[in-house]
């Protein structure tokens, strides 16, 4: 028989489940409600019902591509204002998804990663040149500079000159504003007459989107004028398909959506992942020391030589630090799944074809199947034997199935490279009184986290 789905206490007519919740921290609300209410619960916000799921058994079923597919959460649907039918925000039945997926897949092979390696090394060097002049750094801001620079140069051969600017590139400011607007618009939508109240904020948001589009148009214009040499990048794959009348070619409007999608998806989440990894390393001196010892052993001491492509994946412990940081704080914390046909989830929760649920990844990553210490940062969870001993579908930082993250290997290569580079060179100390605060803008990011750096002495 169908089971009822719990909801937070204190439901209010019309407004719904808005008590004890903050539109500025919806993910952390969902994590808290999940703890109180269990592996499935619903929230009604202004008449719209949203079901959140985090039970390992349920997520395992939702990973069955024969029964379920990607579902656009209300917040992601709002991002179509920015990404249109680009890869991230496309509905499953939109033809441009398959075309762009086919066109761009070659840019994410192992061979492609090899061709990006030197650019990633160069960007990491720019970070180091900057950090060498400082004793205290704003970690999230600098990781954002680094990851924006990396996707700009690898994907579009377009430098953003991030390390020559005191502040973040205005593209980032516009993007963060737009993500935050989509979040507030989803969780703080005053009913009916309230639409009027949004007018000014919506107008400002359109200005942000226009600004981002301007940046994208400049990237495309530059390519048309200057042309392209060197290995294929994302933009070249798309523009060549258009020139060659490839059956998978996409039009100018869609190219623009893809460029914008990659500029956003290609840097914001990796920046957060690196920032959380540095946070946890700074809190766990013994794990930090072990990671530094691994870098010294595998890469050798910091003589100024660049790590090779092969040397990145050899940092197994550093990689586990990153995996575990993404367990604690998966930086794209929600993905949606919808039923392809009428079905019943784990034999108890009926779903009609097209009904969607949202997977709360941070809650899944703390499911009891992780053991009693799921709140503790422990990279050794990702030792091969322990991974094998766990249920299959309880770790999903990159989503699932055909619509899972296309940039996963890209992000992992970049992030391990940067962690290795920094660990080899500096000792990291947090401000003694820093308490982790997590800032939300659909993605999650440590807020106000600074590190004190000291050059390591060569032994
Ligand atoms: C999709 C996470 C890095 C490009 C996704 C999804 C997740 C995710 C969870 C699935 C969303 C859904 O099902 O609705 C992450 C995390 C990253 C990361 C945690 C870093 C640690 C990247 C990078 C790129 C990228 C570096 C590009 C270079 C994309 C794109 C999609 C996607 C284009 C849409 C794929 C499709 O639907 O065809 N990502 N991502 N991501 N990601 Fe990533």
pLDDT digits (tens, 9 = 90+) for 228-285: 998 899 999 999 999 999 999 999 999 999 999 999 999 999 999 999 999 999 999 9
CA–centroid distance, residue 86 to ligand 1 (Å) = 12
Residue 459 has pLDDT above 60, yes or no: no
CA–centroid distance, residue 236 to ligand 1 (Å) = 20
* Predicted local confidence at residue 145, as pLDDT: 96
* Predicted local confidence at residue 432, as pLDDT: 86
- In angstroms, the CA 188 to CA 369 distance is 34
Q: Of the listed 163, 398, 410, 449, which one is catalytic? A: 398
- In angstroms, the CA 307 to CA 426 distance is 16
CA–centroid distance, residue 345 to ligand 1 (Å) = 26
For Cα atoms 357, 363, 369, give the angle at the middle one, nearest 5 degrees. Answer: 110
Q: Of the listed 89, 186, 261, 269, which one is catalytic? A: 269
Task: Give me the interface pTM, i.e. the ipTM.
Answer: 0.99
- In angstroms, the CA 143 to CA 109 distance is 24
Residue 193 has pLDDT above 60, yes or no: no
pLDDT band at 192 (very low <50, low <70, confident <90, very high): low
Catalytic-residue membership of 269: yes
Give percent of the chain above pLDDT 90: 87
* Predicted local confidence at residue 10, as pLDDT: 86
In the predicted model, what is the mean pLDDT of residues 282-293?
A: 97
Mean pLDDT rounded to a whole number for the chain: 94
Beta-carbon contacts of 95 under 8 Å, excluding residues fewer than 6 positions away, are: none
pLDDT band at 125 (very low <50, low <70, confident <90, very high): very high
pLDDT band at 190 (very low <50, low <70, confident <90, very high): low
In the predicted model, what is the mean pLDDT of residues 80-85?
A: 96
- Report residues whose beta carbon is within 6 angstroms of any ligand 1 atom: 70, 87-88, 101, 151, 261-262, 265-266, 269-270, 273, 330-332, 335, 397-399, 403-407, 410-411
- In angstroms, the CA 375 to CA 372 distance is 8
Residue 14 has pLDDT above 90, yes or no: no
Residue 313 has pLDDT above 90, yes or no: yes
* Predicted local confidence at residue 13, as pLDDT: 84
The model's pLDDT over 214-232, given as tens digits with 9 standing for 90+, comes to: 999 999 999 999 999 988 9
* Predicted local confidence at residue 86, as pLDDT: 98
């Amino acid at each position: 028989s169908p089971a009822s789905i719990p909801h937070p206490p204190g439901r209010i007519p019309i407004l719904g489940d808005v008590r004890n919740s903050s539109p500025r921290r919806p993910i952390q609300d969902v994590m808290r409600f999940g703890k109180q209410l269990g592996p499935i619960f619903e929230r009604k916000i202004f008449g719209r019902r949203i079901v959140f799921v985090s039970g390992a058994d349920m997520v395992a079923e939702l990973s069955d591509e024969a029964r379920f597919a990607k579902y656009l959460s209300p917040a992601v649907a709002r991002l179509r204002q920015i990404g249109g039918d680009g890869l991230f925000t496309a509905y499953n039945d939109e033809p441009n998804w398959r075309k762009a997926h086919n066109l761009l897949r070659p840019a994410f092979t192992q061979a492609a990663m090899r061709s990006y390696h030197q650019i990633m090394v160069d960007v990491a060097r720019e970070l180091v040149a900057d950090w060498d002049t400082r004793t205290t750094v704003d970690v999230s801001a600098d990781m954002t500079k680094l990851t924006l620079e990396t996707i700009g140069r690898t994907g579009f051969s377009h430098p953003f000159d991030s390390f020559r600017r005191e502040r973040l590139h205005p593209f980032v400011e516009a993007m963060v504003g737009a993500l935050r607007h989509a979040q507030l618009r989803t969780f703080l939508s005053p009913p009916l007459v309230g639409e009027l109240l949004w007018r000014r904020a919506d107008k400002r948001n359109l200005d942000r989107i226009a600004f981002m589009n301007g940046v994208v148009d400049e990237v495309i214009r530059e390519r048309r004028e200057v042309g392209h040499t060197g290995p294929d990048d994302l933009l070249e794959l798309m523009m060549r398909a258009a020139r060659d009348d490839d059956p998978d070619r996409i039009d100018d409007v869609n190219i623009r959506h893809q460029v914008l999608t990659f500029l956003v998806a290609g840097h914001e989440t990796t920046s957060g992942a690196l920032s959380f990894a540095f946070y946890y390393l700074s809190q766990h001196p013994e794990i930090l020391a072990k990671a530094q010892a691994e870098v010294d052993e595998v890469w050798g001491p910091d003589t100024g030589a660049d790590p090779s492509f092969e040397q990145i994946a050899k940092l197994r412990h550093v990689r586990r630090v990153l995996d575990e940081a993404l367990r604690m704080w998966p930086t794209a914390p929600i993905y949606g799944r919808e039923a392809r046909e009428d079905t019943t989830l784990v034999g108890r929760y009926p779903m009609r074809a097209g009904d969607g649920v949202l997977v709360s990844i941070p809650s899944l990553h703390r499911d009891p199947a992780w053991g009693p210490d799921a709140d503790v940062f422990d990279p050794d969870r990702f030792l091969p034997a322990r991974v094998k001993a766990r249920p299959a579908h309880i770790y999903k930082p990159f989503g699932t199935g055909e619509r899972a993250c296309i940039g996963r290997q890209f992000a992992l290569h970049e992030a391990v490279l940067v962690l290795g580079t920094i660990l080899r060179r500096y000792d990291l100390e947090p401000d003694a009184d820093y308490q982790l605060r997590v800032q939300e803008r659909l993605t999650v990011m440590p807020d106000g986290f600074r590190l004190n750096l000291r050059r390591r002495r060569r032994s």
